[in-house]
Amino acid sequence: MGDVQAARARTETPFLATVQPALDGRYVLLRVIGRGGMGTVFEAENVALGRRFAVKILEPEHAGDRRILSRFLREARVAARIGHPHIVDVHDFGVAEGLPYLVMDLLEGESLASRLRSGPISPYAAIDLVEPVLSALEAAHAAGIVHRDLKPENVFLTQRGGRDHVKVIDFGIASLVEGGAGVSRLTRQGSVLGTPSYMSPEQARGAAIDARSDVYSVGVMLYEMLSGRLPYTEDHPALILAAIATRDPLRLTEIAPHLPRALAEIADRAMAREPGRRFQTAAELRHALVTLRGLKLLDRVPSKSSDRATSMPTRRDLPPARRAAGWIALAGVAAATVASAIAALSF
């Protein structure tokens, strides 16, 4: 297996030919399975165990950046520190030819982002997927860790017994808040870390955050699962950050009136702009969703697939006056926020 597959893998990324000899004693890198901002992820086989893993290797251009090295090492420590069935396990950490690498579970399935490309999903299916994410966050927050980059791409769905099994991945920019209390900025001057569409308002402003920022991000994912759209639909990431920081989104109760009102209100509360108005913990949000599901009031929306909901109205479907109101509210305060957001996105 090794020679042919490793040779094929060497052609997939420029630095693999350099790294491969150093990993050959323990891991044979087989193929690229993903790329991100910090590193490339390979399917690899442990030579001694004959077992396959995912190996994430830091890109060479980042090897000299202390901040990124720190974030990369943090990912290994965070996952190992939590140890939860709905968080991907990190088994090993090493350095090959000066490039740090992580060895993680090899997950087979699809991301939640891939699932959502087919459109919104039913209320029951959405709760079934969000509940384990919140369970994972309960454990992370109890360990003093805020994920900071929750989004559908970082929620992976594997199959177990014919059902979806959820794994939260990529703790690369997680904050460690010792003792499980306090707040963290984990930023550099003039910048924020994370993915714009799923950031909380305080994170978009580069302000101090705590576990309630993750609650907001879960609220955005729930909003997207149920409506098939994001709460902010501006055309540029900087404009999205400005909108998040300065105005409320269209409420789910407005754009999806056919949904059970109690469920839409839960999603809206999770996305409250003021942290004090949100669910204060992941456990509180999970309890609200599980209780609602237990009341059996979430009738499935009729569709060709039992897990697919009917299409939802987009911002274009709303009255012109309602569309304009959001832009008017944004115009007076957006300029300064956009400037800082553009600086953030350069990171």
Query: Is there a single domain that holds both residue 147 and residue 290?
Result: yes
| pLDDT digit string, tens, across residues 8-65 | 444 455 555 555 555 657 888 888 988 766 778 899 999 888 899 999 888 887 777 7
pLDDT at 191: 41
| pLDDT digit string, tens, across residues 303-337 | 434 344 434 444 434 444 444 444 433 333 344 44
Domain of 46 in residue numbering reads as 2-105
Query: Is there a single domain that holds both residue 96 and residue 128?
Result: no
More confident residue, 273 or 330: 273
More confident residue, 232 or 93: 232
Looking at residues 200-226, what average pLDDT do you find? 95
Query: Is there a single domain that holds both residue 234 and residue 324?
Result: yes
Query: Is there a single domain that holds both residue 71 and residue 154?
Result: no
Query: Is there a single domain that holds both residue 186 and residue 83?
Result: no
| pLDDT digit string, tens, across residues 133-147 | 999 999 999 988 899
Query: Is there a single domain that holds both residue 161 and residue 254?
Result: yes
pLDDT at 101: 87
Query: Is there a single domain that holds both residue 73 and residue 113?
Result: no
Query: Is there a single domain that holds both residue 233 and residue 282?
Result: yes
Average pLDDT, the chain: 77
Looking at residues 63-83, what average pLDDT do you find? 76
Q: Over 50: is that where the pLDDT of 1 sits?
A: no
Query: Is there a single domain that holds both residue 208 and residue 101?
Result: no
Angle in degrees, 0-180, between the axes of helices 16-23 and 2-10, rounded to the nearest 10: 150
Please say if 128 is a catalytic residue.
no
**Domain boundary residue, one of 105, 130, 147:** 105
pLDDT at 73: 78
| pLDDT digit string, tens, across residues 80-126 | 778 899 998 888 888 887 788 889 999 999 999 999 999 999 999 99
CATH code of the domain in which 84 resides: 3.30.200.20
Q: What's the number of domains the chain is made of?
A: 2
pLDDT at 313: 41
Q: Over 80: is that where the pLDDT of 4 sits?
A: no
Strand partners, 157: 110, 166
pTM > 0.85: yes or no = no
Active-site position among 3, 65, 149, 210 = 149
**Domain boundary residue, one of 105, 136, 170:** 105
pLDDT at 222: 97
Query: Is there a single domain that holds both residue 120 and residue 241?
Result: yes
> Which segments of the chain does DSSP mark as H helices, in order?
2-10, 16-23, 66-82, 112-116, 123-142, 201-204, 211-227, 237-246, 252-255, 261-270, 282-294, 320-331, 334-345
CATH code of the domain in which 305 resides: 1.10.510.10
DSSP 70-100: HHHHHHHHHHHHH--TTB--EEEEEEETTEE
Tally: H helices and E strands in the chain: 13, 10
Amino acid in position 29? L
Query: Is there a single domain that holds both residue 117 and residue 67?
Result: no
pLDDT at 194: 60
CB atoms within 10 A of CB 142: 15
Q: Over 70: is that where the pLDDT of 340 sits?
A: no
Which pLDDT band holds residue 243 (cuts at 50, 70, 90)? very high
| pLDDT digit string, tens, across residues 250-269 | 899 889 888 999 999 999 99
Q: Over 80: is that where the pLDDT of 6 sits?
A: no
Query: Is there a single domain that holds both residue 9 and residue 150?
Result: no
pLDDT at 157: 96
